[in-house]
Amino acid sequence: MSSPHAAPPPRLLDMLRQHIRLLHYSIRTEEAYVHWVRAFIRYHGLRHPSDLAGPDIQAFLTWLANERDVAPGTHRQALSALLFLYQKVLRQPVPWIEEIGHPRSQRRLPVVLSMAEVQQLLAALDAVPLQRQQVPYGLVGRLLYGTGMRLLEGLRLRVKDIDFDRRAVIVREAKGFKDRVVMLPAALEAPLREQLERSHAVWKADRAAGADGVHLPQALARKYPRAAESWTWHWVFPHSQLADDPRSGAHRRHHLREVNFQRAFKAALQEAGIHKPASPHTLRHSFATHLLQSGYDIRTVQELLGHTDVSTTMIYTHVLRLGGGAVRSPLDSLGPVPPAAGMAAGFAAAPAATPPAEAARYPAGHPPATVRPAREPAPEERLPCPPPVPADLATRYRPTPSFTAAATSAS
């Protein structure tokens, strides 16, 4: 007989979070898996997943693909969340996994900005006011483009990760929990030192107010109890306000949020007049493409980007083979296109602009004379005049209709 004061059994989503943290998945994976499991339960009228099976999962995924029109990557993420729920949390066999259709992966070419567009974008980011964040968005953009870091990798930088003597930046716990070293651009040394001064003022204010220290990975907070309050572990780009930790609930200082820079990036993109579907991750794509254009080998770019497989980095070589540096079109061998080509009937081509020097030499309304007159052909070069055409030629030779050509055009 159970005790009346026994603790209630844990809820399903709480069990899901516990198993995700047991396997040391990231907080982003936890949020995504919880989202899809909750959507799956709501789709089936709040029924418990233990009462559902393969056909119910197939119906949910079909609804996502047909009604919601999600991307293949989103489709795979939802399927992975449900497989984790049934295999790790509910401990149920999944014999129906082979019957569920898996979306085909699609590798698309990344959006890449030219160097001129990057310069215009960074100038527009410099014009974004600091407001309360006290973080220059232009510096964040230059750091992402100059090192090839992802947005979250750049915002998570700590004071100890910047080595000015070696001109290196250490990226900690990147994608796949891997560390790597990237170069520190010489142009960012002075701006980064100024940003560290602003961050140090925030750190001093937190220490004076007795706020909790910053978040430390894994069990370092227990191993080094005062490390979270030290200047070494403080953020390079701190947030302007304190917030609650999503896991521990502690009220502490976090780094600048991704959405803050994403909004500033979108506004700067419009201000610069760049009509491309770019995002902060586009700066990473541009970094890799411009390095390959400069002659750096693919292995060096792979290490800087932190790719496990070189085939992931090879996608930037496809970008290089496009555009003006690729195969020359045969149309360019035919010469320039006439000005009136492609214009609608009834519209005359615009007159060519007269150079300023020619406009000053000749008055308005009087075109310049031909510099080299046409040469009169020699008598032996003159062709004889053709004989006159008979008047009844059109009635004597009428063209025979071609049924093959008519059938081809009709098809």
- Residues designated catalytic: 150, 175, 281, 284, 307, 316
Output the DSSP codes for 164-224.
TTTTEEEE-S-TTS--EEEE--GGGHHHHHHHHHHHHHHHHHHHHHT-B----STTHHHHS
At 360, is the secondary structure helix, strand, or coil? Answer: helix
Apex 328 CA angle, 327 and 333, nearest 5: 155
- Tally Cβ neighbours within 10 Å of residue 282: 23
- Integer CA distances (angstroms), 162 to 166, 269, 368, in order: 9, 28, 66
Q: Say how many residues make up the chain.
A: 411
Backbone angles phi, psi at 252, to 5 degrees: -145, 180
- Strands 238-244 vs 180-183: parallel, antiparallel or unpaired: unpaired
CA distance 302 to 132: 37
Residue type, 404: T
* CA 346 distance to own-chain centroid: 44
Tokens standing for residue 215: 């978040």
At 337, is the secondary structure helix, strand, or coil? Answer: coil
Q: Dihedral of the CA atoms 150, 152, 154, 155 (nearest 10)? A: 160
List 182's β-bridge partners, or say none.
169
Q: To 10 degrees, what angle do helices 280-293 and 298-305 make?
A: 160
The strands making up 180-183's β-sheet, listed across from edge to edge, are 162-163, 168-171, 180-183
Residue linked to tokens 């994608």: 175
List 212's β-bridge partners, or say none.
252
